[in-house]
């Protein structure tokens, strides 16, 4: 139930849409690679930068929220995001791209850490469901980015000369609108975890207190759960086309549809999940979600085993990609809500720690790359399976 008016809810959902801007780095890095003639190593630095900043800025953002509040922190994240989208409009070179994607990662780290606790100020119940609906709005922005870039690349605007970079002014405009809406929306924040001037401790003590929360076994398990979720998410995006190339003998252009298929089912999962989490217990829906992910790993393994029959391999791999897209779509919201409800008086710090877990998006692809170099892309699936097994064991810890 929304505590404040519907306008406040709409403004926060606009922020979730802006949160999805970070996923443009995938398609943008490919275009930058072609435009500047970069090799794969240099091109892969750009998406890696995004997840690197989650490691650095997530916990400091939790500390910052204690000082200035959640709404102001979200506004700061929107400003950083808008600036990151402004830079590539005027010029295109490697230095600008690296700066822009770094700012995009920093802005997104600020936003993911502060926006989720802000949502808890708007709802009395069904926190997981509301966060999942926000993830659905975010997924729309993620899904749109490749199509906007492709439209710009094939329908060049002579007066602007942007091509695929038309994506940046479009998303920047939406980011400005989101900033204005949130700035003009009064939101009553919970104050029990925001320090008064008299209560403020040193920054070092704030950091120590935040990281000390990882000493709590439940918080630590949630942290690892977030790492596995994001690792599987990024890993699927990276590996899905390669699986189809290696085992279904598809060309890269044809296999690229696998990424769109993943996002389509992830978007559907977020939309339907926002309903199911209202009618099912969180633990029940968590088990259903992870079971689908387990089935997806089996399908991918079976697809690899049927490499001699490309048609069968293609069908099994598509089913596996769809299953993991749907199954993994709500895991983040469920684990994050579990962690915040476990320590409601420490929501800011808990959010910072959980968002730091998004660094799993860097760890898993690295391990998957090593494994695939040794035994093929089935090795990458094996690494993701380890993450699914962990999430399956976590089901017994879901309690709220």
pLDDT band with cut points at 50, 70 and 90 for residue 153 = confident
- Residues 309, 396: Cα–Cα separation, whole Å: 39
- Residues 82, 61: Cα–Cα separation, whole Å: 18
* Of the candidates 181, 330, 355, the residue with the CA atom closest to the CA atom of residue 266: 330
* 305-347 pLDDT per residue, tens: 998 899 999 999 999 999 999 999 999 889 988 998 898 888 8
Average pLDDT value for residue range 187-200: 56
Cα dihedral across residues 378, 144, 113, 271: positive or negative: negative
The pLDDT of residue 197? 45
**Above 90 in pLDDT, residue 176?**
yes
* 245 within 8 A of 251, measured Cβ to Cβ: yes
Average pLDDT value for residue range 181-203: 65
The pLDDT of residue 2? 42
* 38-89 pLDDT per residue, tens: 765 676 677 777 878 888 888 888 888 888 888 999 999 999 999 999 999 8
The pLDDT of residue 86? 94
pLDDT band with cut points at 50, 70 and 90 for residue 1 = very low
* 77 within 8 A of 111, measured Cβ to Cβ: yes
The four Cα atoms 239, 22, 367, 373 give a dihedral, to 10 degrees, of: 40
**Structure letter (DSSP) for residue 335:** H
The pLDDT of residue 157? 54
Average pLDDT value for residue range 154-163: 64
The pLDDT of residue 351? 82
Mean pLDDT over each residue of the chain, to the nearest integer = 84
The pLDDT of residue 337? 87
20-24, 235-239, 269-273: segment of lowest average pLDDT: 235-239
* 279-314 pLDDT per residue, tens: 889 899 999 999 999 999 999 999 999 988 999 999
**Above 80 in pLDDT, residue 119?**
yes
**Above 70 in pLDDT, residue 200?**
no
């Amino acid at each position: 139930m929304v505590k404040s008016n519907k306008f406040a809810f709409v403004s926060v959902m606009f922020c979730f849409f802006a949160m999805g801007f970070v996923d443009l780095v995938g398609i943008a890095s490919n275009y930058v690679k072609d435009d500047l003639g970069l090799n794969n190593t240099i091109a892969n630095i750009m998406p890696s930068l995004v997840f690197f900043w989650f490691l650095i800025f997530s916990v400091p953002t939790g500390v910052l929220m204690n000082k200035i509040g959640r709404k102001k922190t979200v506004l700061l994240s929107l400003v950083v995001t808008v600036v990151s989208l402004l830079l590539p409009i005027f010029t295109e070179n490697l230095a600008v791209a690296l700066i822009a994607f770094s700012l995009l990662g920093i802005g997104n780290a600020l936003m993911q850490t502060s926006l989720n606790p802000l949502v808890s100020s708007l709802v009395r119940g069904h926190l997981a469901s509301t966060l999942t609906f926000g993830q659905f709005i975010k997924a729309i922005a993620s899904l749109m980015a490749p199509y906007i870039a492709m439209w710009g690349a094939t329908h060049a605007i002579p007066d602007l000369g942007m091509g695929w970079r038309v994506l940046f002014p479009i998303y920047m405009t939406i980011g400005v609108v989101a900033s204005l809406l949130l700035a003009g929306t009064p939101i009553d924040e919970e104050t029990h975890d925001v320090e008064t001037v008299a209560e403020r401790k040193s920054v070092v003590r704030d950091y120590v207190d935040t990281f000390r929360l990882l000493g709590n076994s439940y918080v630590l398990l949630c942290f690892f759960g977030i790492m596995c979720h994001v690792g599987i998410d990024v890993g699927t995006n990276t590996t899905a086309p390669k699986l189809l190339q290696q085992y279904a003998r598809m060309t890269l252009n044809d296999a690229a549809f696998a990424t769109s298929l993943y996002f389509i089912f992830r978007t559907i999962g977020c939309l339907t999940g926002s309903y199911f989490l209202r009618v099912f217990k969180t633990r029940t829906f968590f088990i259903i979600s992870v079971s689908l992910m387990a089935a997806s790993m089996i399908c991918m393994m079976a697809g690899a085993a049927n490499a001699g029959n490309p048609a069968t391999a293609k069908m099994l791999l598509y089913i596996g990609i769809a299953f993991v897209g749907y199954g993994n779509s709500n895991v983040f919201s469920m684990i994050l809500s579990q962690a915040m409800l476990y320590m409601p008086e420490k929501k800011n710090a808990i959010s910072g720690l959980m968002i730091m877990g998004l660094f799993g998006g860097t760890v898993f692809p690295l391990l998957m790359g090593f494994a695939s170099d040794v035994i093929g892309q089935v090795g990458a699936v094996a690494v993701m399976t380890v993450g699914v097994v962990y999430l399956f064991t976590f089901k017994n810890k879901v309690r709220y």
